[in-house]
Amino acid sequence: MNMKGFFITGTDTEIGKTCITAGLTHAFSGLGLRAVPIKPLAAGQDLVDGQWVNDDVQRLHAAQSLGLSPEQVGPLQFRAACAPHIAAALEGKAIEREPLLAAIRASAALGELALVEGVGGFRVPLNPGYDTADLAVDLALPVVLVVGLRLGCINHALLSAEAIRARGLQLAGWVANQVDPDMPHVKDNLGALAAGLGAPCWGHVPRLAEPTAAAVAACFDLEQLRLHRD
């Protein structure tokens, strides 16, 4: 099956990939597409009402309107909040390539456009010899880079873009997410990112008091999304 969609990666961990993926789910759904958010690997669960849940998976699940189950949104979820290969090992498990790909493809088949969120930055180990960059190559999806706006983001973004293209993948676009509300010279940083990344900016998301999927979606350039929805 040839998947249609995007692989969402970031310049680092904790830079808002899940918020952006939820926003993209809402935005593409608003454009008439059956968008499927998928977080294939999620590490860090809390016990809520007798069930182990992951906040990121819950956020993505709430953003979709296709009646997906949390397990279809987040196929592999681990208890410990750490690197996924470590979290898996703590449970006596291994992250296996083919079952992981099969789970992603099964969820993607339930809609028209898959939004597959990676883990941390672009290269996070999953098992010996296999990382999230390899996963992106296996899925063969165009990549959207979430740039967390804070000191050092230009370097992180340019290195990430270089790594993405070195794997033969298309950088379809990037989203600036204001993780540091007090970051100075934001406009100049955005200009440097636009000049260096060589891909269209899909939007600049400011620091939102309530970063709901709808609020994040309102920050996107819908014309850019329309160009990429097919």
Tell me which residues are annotated as active site: 39
To which H or E segment does residue 193 belong?
Answer: helix 186-197
3-state secondary structure 115-173: EEECCCCCCCEEECCEEHHHHHHHHCCCEEEEEECCCCHHHHHHHHHHHHHHCCCCEEE
Adjacent-strand bridge partners of 220: 203
Closest to 14 measured CA to CA, from 124, 94, 166, 96? 124
Structure tokens at 179: 């993780």
What is the chain's Cα-based Rg?
17
Q: Is 208 helix (H, G, I), strand (E, B) or coil?
A: coil
How far apart are alpha carbons 90 and 80 in whole angstroms?
8
Contact between 42 and 153 under an 8 Å Cβ cutoff? The reply is no
What letter does residue 8 receive in the DSSP assignment? Answer: E
Structure tokens at 26: 């809402």
How far apart are alpha carbons 4 and 99 in whole angstroms?
19
How far apart are alpha carbons 152 and 183 in whole angstroms?
11
